[in-house]
Amino acid sequence: MKLEGKTAIVTGGGSGIGRGICLRYAREGASVVVADLDTASAEKVAEEIKNADGKALAVTVDVTDREGVKNMVATAVKEFGGLDILVNNAGVGKIIPFLETTEADFDFFFGVNCKGLMICSQEAAKQMIAQNRGGKIVNLASQAGRRGESLVMAYCASKAAVINMNQSIALALAEHKINVNAIAPGIVDTPLWVEIDKQFAKLLGWEIGEPKRKFTESIPLGRIEQPEDVAGAAVFLASEDADYITQQCLNVDGGNWPS
Ligand SMILES: NC(=O)c1ccc[n+]([C@@H]2O[C@H](COP(=O)([O-])OP(=O)(O)OC[C@H]3O[C@@H](n4cnc5c(N)ncnc54)[C@H](O)[C@@H]3O)[C@@H](O)[C@H]2O)c1
């Protein structure tokens, strides 16, 4: 087990990729704080882990609310004795044509995907620094952060910012032996992509399911990505095997970028 004795917080842990990471971290021996805006889904994932003899706790949090984030970290410390790993996975996205993108859309994506990541990283890092035993932060970027797209401008920009923030935060925390790395997934089969598929279908005049099928056809490894594919990389980046890796953004996308 690669994360035995570690405590991990996974934001957005109640769904999709976050859920996959929570389940895998628990199997690797970590105590997992499933942190999500959606209390019911966080509790469901925590129950799933406990039913499989793992250690987990659900916490309701809005990653954009500093007091709530402080409470999330304090709860992890109180219940499990410290904090070793933070996964900044909570994220929001939508397909919106450039000319129809509003200030509210822009602020919403940047608020959750970037400001939330900053607040969670700051509060987790303060705890890790106080413990003086290093730590790991894993950020969910996206292939969308590698290039712009006409129907996804604000989301792409927010994920490009995540890739950049990942570097700055890694440099800022290196002296504390806190490794900070990102993962850039491709097209992952999650509730988020169910919505994205519907939005693309409407805008392109395609059948529902067609965008997912067509975009998946061009993935070199020939299949859609699963949360478990991301979870494997998230275990590696949170483990001792990654002790000499920081500031990196790892593409986990079946070879989709830059082909
Ligand atoms: N699905 C993909 O194809 C894909 C590809 C690349 C990157 N990503 C990124 O991976 C991450 C997870 O995506 P997913 O597909 O699993 O999404 P999802 O919608 O299935 O899950 C996201 C979770 O985040 C939670 N959340 C949203 N706003 C929150 C907030 N303010 N505070 C706390 N929790 C909040 C939601 O309640 C939900 O449980 C996101 O950052 C996303 O941008 C996804």
Q: Using one digit for the tens of pLDDT, what is the confidence trace for 155-206? A: 999 999 999 999 999 999 999 999 999 999 999 999 999 999 999 999 999 9
Does residue 145 carry a pLDDT above 90? yes
Distances, alpha carbon 98 to alpha carbons 105, 114, 200, in Å: 11, 20, 14
Q: In this structure, which residue's CA is closest to atom 42 in ligand 1?
A: 91
pLDDT of residue 102: 98
- Average pLDDT for residues 16-29, to the nearest whole number? 98
Active site residue 155: yes
Asked if residue 34 has pLDDT above 90, the reply is yes
Catalytic, out of 80, 109, 155, 193 = 155
- pLDDT classification of 258: cutoffs 50, 70, 90: confident
Residue 97: band (very low, low, confident or very high) from pLDDT cuts 50, 70, 90: very high
- Residue with CA nearest ligand 1 atom 41: 91
The Å distance, Cα 12 to ligand 1 centre, comes to: 6
Burial class (CB in 10 A: 0-12, 13-18, 19+), 111: middle
pLDDT in tens, 37-78: 999 999 999 999 999 999 999 999 999 999 999 999 999 999
pLDDT at residue 210 greater than cutoff 90: yes
∠ CA(124), CA(128), CA(130), 5° rounding? 120
Between the CA of residue 242 and those of 6, 137, 179, 237, what are the distances in Å?
Answer: 15, 11, 8, 5
List the single range of 10-14, 25-29, 203-207, 255-259 with lowest mean pLDDT.
255-259
Question: Could you identify the atom of ligand 1 that is nearest to the CA of residue 193?
Answer: 1
pLDDT for position 37: 98
Residues ≥6 apart with Cβ < 8 Å to 188: 16, 17, 224, 225, 226, 227, 229, 230
Pocket, ligand 1, Cβ cutoff 6 A: 11-12, 14-18, 36-38, 41, 61-64, 89-93, 112, 116, 140, 142, 185, 187-188, 190-193
Q: Extract the tokens encoding 255.
A: 């070879």
Chain mean pLDDT for the chain? 97
Mutate to test the pocket of ligand 1, among 45, 162, 190 (most ligand atoms within 8 A of CB): 190
Segment 137-163 shows an average pLDDT of: 97
Domains of the chain, first to last:
7-188+226-252 (3.40.50.720)
